[in-house]
Structure 1
Amino acid sequence: MNILPLIVLFPLLGALILAFNPRLPNRLAALVGVGSIGLSALVMVWLNWLFYLGDGGGFTQTLWQWVTVGDFRMGFTLYLDGLSLTMISVITGVGFLIHLFASWYMEKDLEGAPGYARFFAYMNLFVFSMLLLVLGDNLLLLYLGWEGVGLCSYLLIGYYYQSEYNAWCAFKAFIVTRIGDVFLAIGLFLLFTRFGTLDIQQLLQQAPQVWQEGDLMAEVAALMLLGGALGKSAQLPLHTWLADAMAGPTPVSALIHAATMVTAGVYLIARTHTIFELAPFTLSLVALIGLLTLLVAGFTALAQTDIKRVLAYSTMSQIGYMFLALGVQAWDVAIFHLMIHAFFKALLFLTSGSVIIACHHEQNIFKMGGLWRSLKLPYACFLIGGAALSALPLVTAGFYSKDEILWLTFDHGYSLLWLGALLGALLTSIYTFRMIFIVFHGREQIHPHAGRGIAHHLPLLALALLSTFVGGMIHPPLANVLPAGPEGQYGHLIRVLTEVLAAVVALVGVGIAAALFLGRRRLIGNLMEAKEGDRLRRFFYSGFAFDWLYERITVRPFLFIARLHRRDWVNSLVNMWPALALGLNDLLLGTQNGRLRWYAAVMTGGAVSMLFLLLLF
């Protein structure tokens, strides 16, 4: 286990090499960027082997003493158990495949423009920060990684910073997620003042001894942690940034905004599960927010026209399922779905990138059509990934994780939440196959050029395999980390019936999508032409008008107050001194006009003035 620091070190070294050598040739930059994550992935495989050979317990390794203030000491310590092992496996394994695909995608996307090394420097720095987040044995180290992934998200969303829209999307993501980060920081302060430590394992041991279930301070601390999780994981009401984050390159969307960073909130709640178990109100709120998010995102995805925004809202919806699982105390199933979601959503995003490049950077699904004839591999990958997202029965990985969430929600006594989750499953099938039918079927409107090369094919094929039942057979080693949850209420027969019902719902969704979006699409066309149908479409397209609402209740009042106090006397008094300095500076600059006679006159005048003063005094 002494090799554990290497998994963090390799991405950091890659980021530093690329940052200090921005003019590296593209091939060499790709070798460093992809190779560093590949080495980290190899270390991950070795760690898995050693972990399964061992007793499955936690392993701690202190690299150095980080903070020493009085009696408070905190080491730069890494902690490996079944939960963090699952997370680093996703981050480095899926991350390597995405980096490999990015070496192909960015070469096509940049077309000789500078910035190739800069892109991989940001990507490597992100992987380093994410690994630090999940391996930190204390909340301060976790928070360092938490802020690191936020910074890298900002840099990568605004990677094409020449576009004002992209820069604004990056700024929006940074600001909205900072709101959640403030809540998380407050939560850390509360925990430290109460327990005198930020060591996660000590907190989990001491919390039940100090707080009773339902204790007010336990609820407040859990609420603050939940606030941080909502921002990073794009859950209501801090969800508005994720769709706009699609302004970044598609591999960024696959790595950060589908497979890793947006699942940080799920990891945080699972890691601090003991605190949430002591806060039943907050735990119920986690489940409710998850359900509302998955429904809002599902309806919104139905009206999107941008292929990446459809996938963005589906990501939001699937993380809603993870929050639902956490809220009903199906802890291990939430992490299981996190892993499975990383497989099929990375596949869908990378395949969408392949389609976008093939269609000459077109992202509007209604300007595509009939692509299955020319893009056979992307079509097959979209079918596999879409089937996994829709949780089609038996053959897809998504079936094994999502159905487990639905079953445990019902079995733990949350019948209304279960009904809402079933509706979300129906919506998922409809919007997923709506996208597939519109993009790959119907009349061809654009002539695509299929991607080629191992960097293009290998990641898609590997992720496609993991998105089938093969991925569903991989179970994270969480038995010694997360509790089993409450006892169920129903037997095996009821479980089989609920699973059959969930499978039928998913298949019905595919049938509805086929009826509406295959062929001439007359029915859906007539519905959209109706006044009420058009209004509903525009409402869904706007994401339930959350951006409109936030602009009116936060942005506009803030700008009004700023304009109101623009000329207040305190501000004027403070600004007077720099204005005076600037005025004197302008006056002196005026004397430097480059005219020889002026300089001679000034020198003579100065000398006469000095003589006059000497005579007077």
Structure 2
Amino acid sequence: MIYKLIVFLPLVGFLIAGLFGRQIGTKASEFVTCGLMAVVAVLSWVVFFQVALGSQETMSVEVLRWIQSGNIDVFWALRIDTLTSVMFVVVNTVSFLVHVYSVGYMHTDPHRPRFFAYLSLFTFTMLMLITSDNLLQMFFGWEGVGLASYLLIGFWYDRPSANAAAMKAFIVNRVGDFGFMLGIAAVFVMFGSINFETIFANAGTYLPAEGSPEAARVIFDVFGLTLTREGALTAACLLLFMGAMGKSAQFLLHTWLPDAMEGPTPVSALIHAATMVTAGVFLVARMSPLFEQSPDALTVVTIIGAITAFFAATVGLVQNDIKRVIAYSTCSQLGYMFVALGIGAYGAAIFHLFTHAFFKALLFLCAGSVIHAVDGEQDMRKMGGLRKHIPVTFWMMTIGTLALTGVGIPFTPIGFAGFFSKDVIIEASYASHSAVSGFAFTLLVIAALFTSFYSWRLAFLTFFGKERASHEVMHHVHESPNVMLIPLYVLAIGAVLAGVIFQGMFYGDAYEGFWKGALFTSEHNELLHEFHHVPFLVVLSPFIAMLIGFVTAWYFYIKSPETPKKLAAAQPGLYQFLLNKWYFDELYDFLFVRSAKALGRFFWQKVDVGTIDHFGPNGVAARVVDTANRVVRLQTGYLYHYAFTMLLGVAALITWMMLGSSV
């Protein structure tokens, strides 16, 4: 019963606030949705202690029989294991805090019942995704999350930029979702089922012995492309990963994430920092028994993750919108998680997902507090000197920055959350036996340096230096109300303690006892032990990178504020390249958007209007009108015209009768 309450109480909140929000009023809508989420958050921690930290094994809770057609026999069931319980904590804790924060942040918005309804709808669909017991159920939650994100990003629908961002997120994710659907179909063809238990039970024995006749047998022949069992398995994993790339904003399908900042700041914290964007990470982790059988697919996952971490970090170096910097930071950190998945360090990937939820939601909500204080301004160049005016927000954001940049003391259990979760991924990438481990390790260390730089750049531009806002804005700067600050305190506790408390469980000595088979675990997988014995400099590398980034940012924006301007002027090409996000938006606009619009115009003007309408309904109508006009001309109103017509008719009739009788 407790599991059904966790999943369906947010749905109840959505229905009450969405259908009856106007009748019960704004305050009641806020109270209902926040109250239900408080219950769900508490129950999620109860489940975490029972399942992850207790002795409860994996279980399936049936809700109803969903689809029974041919070989497809699908129940709507809730899969409860350690991975689910971890995601319960992440999704519901952050969602509850965002609900509470939104009471203060959105207090002047006239459409608050609709906003809180959307928040609860998003939470429900995300819970459907993480509790799925089969791929179809996961796809249902997957698409539901996409719909909810579309509604939340475009919440301020009277803003063209918000509408454009919502459509962009929805369309780009359709590209990934197309791959996800094909992946589900491929898995069904290979295993005859889309239920996780069946897939996982047969994944380990699906590939035949190397060199056997069965290994060379073609099982797929699609448009002339022949695939053996091994090739089909790799193709299925890559198609599933394509879906993960879209939802988790990985390189090439990342362009929607920064623009999604057009939604209200609580939306950014909920969807694009802690929950929705981690759905792709969850998918690969959940399907780890399948991915583990395809080294080639894992190599692709590692490469894409490493490139994403590096790419997003480079773009974050020069962005000026406070939310956009944090958005690219999210994109970069997701790259870290995928590297961990690609090298087989599944526990480390989920650990970073877990800690990242706390400090990234903290950073976004702090950014919202800053924006709230400076009357909606988001350009960091127009801020400065705010730490004396909003000291609580300053210290909370400092904690989030310390966690994100991975501040801690190497070789000791002292450090913020990111120090444990991010650094272990870097060490694991070095220790990995993957063919691209060196490539991944190098890009991750560089990304750590850039992360430190842009994070402290944000802090220094926003809170230090001289005040650059107008006198009128500075006169009204004020600290946020407690309803917005209390969620920051809770998230700050997670950003400080989550790493040191849970590190041993997620990837340390207690790994197998903690996960209980929820993630792939092999007796021959030595990675968990090897990364504890990497060289001294490897362990220090993220710490050194963090220090270099911090010192450089301090010099650029505290010691010598003119240096960044001189550097940008000296390297205008590189600066514009990074400022314009590697020109991906322009490239995609040229390759896809313009061509799609041109194709649409062609079909509209030439095919639809010029051909179908011209010769179809419009043509028929025109001929009818033309004929009617000609007939109308015969109706002159003169008697002698009608008499002459009658005479012609009589003459024609007599002629016909004479000719007929003669024959």
2:173 matched to 1:174?
no
2:84 matched to 1:95?
no
Contact 1:422 1:502 in 2 (8 A): yes
Contact 1:330 1:484 in 2 (8 A): no
Contact 1:391 1:398 in 2 (8 A): yes
User: In 2 relative to 1, CA 405–585 (structure 1 residues): closer, same or farther, beyond 3 Å?
Assistant: farther
**CA displacement at 1:197 relative to structure 2:** 1.1
Correspondence for 1:190:
186
Correspondence for 2:301:
286
**CA displacement at 1:480 relative to structure 2:** 2.5
Correspondence for 2:48:
48
User: In 2 relative to 1, CA 190–494 (structure 1 residues): closer, same or farther, beyond 3 Å?
Assistant: closer
Correspondence for 2:647:
none
User: What pairs with 1:317-336 in structure 2 (closer than 5 Å)?
Assistant: 317-336=332-351
* Structure-2 separation of matches of 1:348 and 1:216: 43
**CA displacement at 1:25 relative to structure 2:** 2.5
* Structure-1 separation of matches of 2:450 and 2:117: 38
User: In 2 relative to 1, CA 70–585 (structure 1 residues): closer, same or farther, beyond 3 Å?
Assistant: farther
* Structure-1 separation of matches of 2:237 and 2:341: 13
The one-letter code matched in structure 1 to 2:613 is N
The one-letter code matched in structure 2 to 1:246 is M
User: In 2 relative to 1, CA 49–561 (structure 1 residues): closer, same or farther, beyond 3 Å?
Assistant: closer
2:109 matched to 1:118?
no
* Per-residue Cα deviation, 1:563-598 (whole angstroms, up to 9, x for no partner): 3344445765543555479889999xxxxxxxxxxx
**CA displacement at 1:495 relative to structure 2:** 5.0
Larger Rg: 2
**CA displacement at 1:42 relative to structure 2:** 2.0
* Structure-2 separation of matches of 1:555 and 1:452: 41
**CA displacement at 1:31 relative to structure 2:** 0.6
* Structure-2 separation of matches of 1:536 and 1:71: 56
User: What pairs with 1:160-559 in structure 2 (closer than 5 Å)?
Assistant: 160-212=156-208, 215-393=230-408, 394-413=414-433, 414-446=437-469, 447=474, 449-474=477-502, 475-476=505-506, 477-484=514-521, 486-488=525-527, 494=534, 496-530=536-570, 533-559=571-597
Contact 1:286 1:324 in 2 (8 A): yes
Correspondence for 1:129:
125
* Structure-2 separation of matches of 1:356 and 1:385: 17
**CA displacement at 1:478 relative to structure 2:** 2.1
* Per-residue Cα deviation, 1:353-395 (whole angstroms, up to 9, x for no partner): 0000000000000000000111111110111101111111132
* Structure-2 separation of matches of 1:71 and 1:297: 44
* Structure-1 separation of matches of 2:458 and 2:490: 23
User: In 2 relative to 1, CA 149–470 (structure 1 residues): closer, same or farther, beyond 3 Å?
Assistant: closer
Contact 1:384 1:467 in 2 (8 A): yes
SS of residue matched to 1:372: coil
**CA displacement at 1:466 relative to structure 2:** 0.9
The one-letter code matched in structure 2 to 1:26 is T
The one-letter code matched in structure 2 to 1:78 is L
User: What pairs with 1:18-97 in structure 2 (closer than 5 Å)?
Assistant: 18-23=17-22, 24-51=24-51, 54-97=54-97
* Structure-1 separation of matches of 2:257 and 2:466: 31
**CA displacement at 1:436 relative to structure 2:** 0.4
User: In 2 relative to 1, CA 166–512 (structure 1 residues): closer, same or farther, beyond 3 Å?
Assistant: same
User: In 2 relative to 1, CA 250–445 (structure 1 residues): closer, same or farther, beyond 3 Å?
Assistant: same
2:144 matched to 1:148?
yes
User: In 2 relative to 1, CA 571–276 (structure 1 residues): closer, same or farther, beyond 3 Å?
Assistant: farther
* Per-residue Cα deviation, 1:583-614 (whole angstroms, up to 9, x for no partner): 89999xxxxxxxxxxxxxxxxxxxxxxxxxxx
* Per-residue Cα deviation, 1:101-148 (whole angstroms, up to 9, x for no partner): 1111111xxx2x421000011110000000000001011110000000
User: In 2 relative to 1, CA 396–54 (structure 1 residues): closer, same or farther, beyond 3 Å?
Assistant: closer
Correspondence for 1:607:
none
* Per-residue Cα deviation, 1:382-430 (whole angstroms, up to 9, x for no partner): 1110111111113211000011101111111422321211111000000
* Per-residue Cα deviation, 1:37-65 (whole angstroms, up to 9, x for no partner): 11111221222233257524101111111
The one-letter code matched in structure 1 to 2:431 is D
**CA displacement at 1:472 relative to structure 2:** 3.4
SS of residue matched to 2:515: coil
User: In 2 relative to 1, CA 27–585 (structure 1 residues): closer, same or farther, beyond 3 Å?
Assistant: farther
User: In 2 relative to 1, CA 154–495 (structure 1 residues): closer, same or farther, beyond 3 Å?
Assistant: same
The one-letter code matched in structure 2 to 1:6 is L
The one-letter code matched in structure 2 to 1:506 is M
SS of residue matched to 1:74: strand
The one-letter code matched in structure 2 to 1:529 is A
**CA displacement at 1:207 relative to structure 2:** 2.3
User: In 2 relative to 1, CA 569–31 (structure 1 residues): closer, same or farther, beyond 3 Å?
Assistant: closer
User: In 2 relative to 1, CA 249–569 (structure 1 residues): closer, same or farther, beyond 3 Å?
Assistant: closer
The one-letter code matched in structure 1 to 2:14 is A
Matched pairs, number:
580
**CA displacement at 1:491 relative to structure 2:** 7.5
* Structure-2 separation of matches of 1:270 and 1:470: 20
Contact 2:448 2:545 in 1 (8 A): yes
The one-letter code matched in structure 2 to 1:409 is S
* Structure-2 separation of matches of 1:558 and 1:491: 48
SS of residue matched to 2:77: strand
User: In 2 relative to 1, CA 138–528 (structure 1 residues): closer, same or farther, beyond 3 Å?
Assistant: same
* Structure-1 separation of matches of 2:531 and 2:195: 40
* Structure-2 separation of matches of 1:586 and 1:184: 53
* Per-residue Cα deviation, 1:245-285 (whole angstroms, up to 9, x for no partner): 00000000000001000000000001001221122111101
The one-letter code matched in structure 2 to 1:182 is F
Structure 1: stretches of 5+ with no match in the other structure: 588-617
Contact 1:3 1:43 in 2 (8 A): yes
Contact 1:56 1:82 in 2 (8 A): no
User: In 2 relative to 1, CA 54–345 (structure 1 residues): closer, same or farther, beyond 3 Å?
Assistant: closer
The one-letter code matched in structure 2 to 1:556 is R
- Which is further off, 398-407 or 486-495? 486-495
* Structure-2 separation of matches of 1:106 and 1:236: 33
User: In 2 relative to 1, CA 515–54 (structure 1 residues): closer, same or farther, beyond 3 Å?
Assistant: closer
Contact 1:154 1:170 in 2 (8 A): yes
User: What pairs with 1:540-579 in structure 2 (closer than 5 Å)?
Assistant: 540-568=578-606, 572-576=610-614, 577-579=616-618
Correspondence for 1:611:
none
Correspondence for 1:604:
none
* Structure-2 separation of matches of 1:106 and 1:144: 30
* Structure-1 separation of matches of 2:622 and 2:494: 68
Contact 2:41 2:89 in 1 (8 A): yes
- Which is further off, 79-88 or 489-498? 489-498
The one-letter code matched in structure 2 to 1:86 is V
Percent of aligned positions that are identical: 37
- Which is further off, 43-52 or 400-409? 43-52
What RMSD over aligned residues (CA atoms) do the two structures have, in Å?
2.2
